[in-house]
Amino acid sequence: MSSSLGRKTINGLKWSYLATIISALIQVVYTMVINRLLSPVDFGLVAMANVVLRFGSYFAQMGLGTAIVQKKDLSATDIRATFTLALLFSVVIYSLIYFLAPYLIHLFDEPNPSLVPIIQLLGVTFIINGVTAISQNLLRKHMKFKTLSVTEVSTYFIGYVLVGITLALMGYGVWSVVYAAIVQSGLNLIALYAQVKHSLKPIFGFRYFRPILSYGSQVSLISFMEFLKTNLDTLLIGKTLGFYNLGLYNRALIAIRLPLVQINTSLSRVIFPAFSTIQSDLKKLSGLYLQSTMLLASLILSLTGFCFGAATEIILILLGEKYLSVVPVFRVLTLGIGFNYIAALGGIVCDATAYLKPKSIFTILHLSAVAGLIYLFKSYGLVGIAWAMTISYWLKMVGFAILLKPLLPFTFKALGRQLIPGSMNATILGGLGFGLSNLLHQQEIPLLLRFALCCLAALLIFIFIIRLPYNKPLRDFISDKILPTYESKIRAGGPVAQVLAFMKFDYQHATLQQNGNNN
């Protein structure tokens, strides 16, 4: 990785993860409050409406935003062409969804007329998000992640916390979620366009559209198949087990995805432009892919290990006692969902290098595997479907490793080594956390104190296990690539420096090496 690209990537990660932490805290507060104001049926309705809308969104977006980031030489004409296509596709798909909504609800065994206006109103976000994608991806292409991060946090807070919770308290029920989504999308459009003003004048002609569509349509098709994979569980539960059970499952999924999506999104939106920049240097790309895999696996798997151990406390705090029955579902999902997000890095490599035909073939095969697994496990209820999805996540990780082997010069052994720190940390944190949670529960310790003790124990355990030999590659990466950017804030002999020294981070060596490179 060149020093310039490296600095931009690390700086992007810094802002992206800062936004992640703040967004996660805001989402925790929102989730805790909204789950106590709305019923599982309300969330079941929103979940089914979102499935229908996401179905249309892949045709409305057509991978246009991704094409902006991936295209090496992006002209003003390309931007106008992309804007024109985004607007046309969004309006057409929204019109179809609006008029077909009364018929689409019959896809489910329990057609609920209440779904129709929800789908019709939420569909407005097609047009808003379609237009927003131009400014959003121009900022991503130029790695302006500070702007993206600040906008993301502020619009989510206003839309969901201020508007959504206020409307829920006023008795708007499921509509509070609908209006919150629209307000957030609208504010996002205004804020991002104010930062990157591009021409709003349409341009027509297939010669302008061809360069964008040739790449974007393939990405959109693959994304659509990914959508089918990730929503088969939701579709099946909504069709066979009803909206109440779907609401339960959806909340369990939201609870585990809440931190993971933030971490994955933060890394992915920085890594895709970085991958695209060095797409022709496969050796350099391979190195960045392996490093990104280790970093993401260490973060996500350690977190899912903690979530496995403290599952009961997390569900009770986030969702409340009425969702206590989903603890087993939540625990099963923690065993595999982390690998789903780690494997997604392979998909980003494929997108950045336009390695799309092999990716589409793999996606079809994996989709078939997911369908087969759900069919085999569906008789075991929500826990069975959770196991089906967990196994599918493991298969996805293995599948992408095989898929990328002909493209990138890495070995399976090298890739496996990147997963060792995160997997070992997850096993230790999950096992000890599970034991501690049960012990504290038997002592009838209050819930919030129980959770605080679980968090404190996990932090102390992590500080100790990061010193272990298997975590040395992770320590070296953080010491070489991340800590030098905080050189001025780490006072020699101070508490931060002492903690880093205890955890065996060689940040002083990394700083000297960084200064030597700069000279």
What is the rounded CA–CA span in Å between residue 161 and residue 29? 8
Highest mean pLDDT (candidates 194-203, 209-218, 326-335, 466-475): 326-335
Give pTM, 2 decimals.
0.67
> Which of 145-159, 319-333, 415-429 has the lowest average pLDDT?
145-159
What would the mean pLDDT of 229-233 be, rounded to a whole number?
71
pLDDT tens digits along 63-118: 666 777 666 677 788 888 888 888 888 888 889 888 988 887 776 656 678 888 98
What is the rounded CA–CA span in Å between residue 182 and residue 141? 26
What pLDDT is recorded for position 147?
80
What pLDDT is recorded for position 60?
57
- pLDDT tier at 243, thresholds 50, 70, 90: low
What pLDDT is recorded for position 402?
94
What pLDDT is recorded for position 258?
72
What pLDDT is recorded for position 510?
44
Other C-beta atoms lying within 10 Å of the C-beta of residue 266 = 27
What pLDDT is recorded for position 514?
45
Instruction: Judge whether residue 32 has pLDDT over 90.
Output: no
pLDDT cut 70: percent of the chain above it: 77
- pLDDT tier at 403, thresholds 50, 70, 90: very high
Helix (H) or strand (E) run with residue 258 in it: helix 242-277
What pLDDT is recorded for position 515?
45
> Alpha carbon 292 to chain centroid distance?
15
Instruction: Judge whether residue 517 has pLDDT over 50.
Output: no
Q: Are 35 and 323 within 8 A, CB to CB?
A: yes
Instruction: Judge whether residue 10 has pLDDT over 60.
Output: no
387 phi, psi to nearest 5 deg:
-65, -40
280 phi, psi to nearest 5 deg:
-90, -15
What pLDDT is recorded for position 75?
77
pLDDT tens digits along 337-346: 999 989 988 8
Instruction: Judge whether residue 178 has pLDDT over 70.
Output: yes
Computed over every residue of the chain, the mean pLDDT equals 80
What is the rounded CA–CA span in Å between residue 476 and residue 474? 5
What is the rounded CA–CA span in Å between residue 108 and residue 106? 5
What pLDDT is recorded for position 1?
46
DSSP codes, 280-312: T-HHHHHHHHHHHHHHHHHHHHHHHHHHHHTHH
What pLDDT is recorded for position 13?
57
Instruction: Judge whether residue 270 has pLDDT over 70.
Output: no
207 phi, psi to nearest 5 deg:
-65, -25
What is the rounded CA–CA span in Å between residue 250 and residue 23? 20
Instruction: Judge whether residue 192 has pLDDT over 50.
Output: yes
Q: Is 317 exposed, middle or buried (0-12, 13-18, 19+ CB in 10 A)?
A: middle
What pLDDT is recorded for position 57?
67
What is the rounded CA–CA span in Å between residue 463 and residue 457? 10
pLDDT tens digits along 477-506: 777 776 776 666 666 666 767 777 777 777
What pLDDT is recorded for position 309?
94
pLDDT tens digits along 113-157: 888 898 889 888 888 888 888 888 888 777 777 788 788 889 989
Q: Are 402 and 346 within 8 A, CB to CB?
A: no
Residue 135 CB contacts under 8 Å (≥ 6 apart), including other chains:
189, 192, 193, 195, 196, 198
Instruction: Judge whether residue 164 has pLDDT over 70.
Output: yes
Taking phi first (over 0 means left), then psi (-120 to 50 degrees means alpha), and beta for anything else, what does residue 73 get? beta
Long-range own/partner contacts, residues 69-77 (CB < 8 A, 24 or more apart): 69/137, 69/140, 69/141, 69/272, 69/273, 69/276, 70/215, 70/272, 70/276, 70/279, 70/351, 70/352, 70/354, 71/211, 71/212, 71/215, 72/276, 74/141, 76/199, 77/203, 77/208
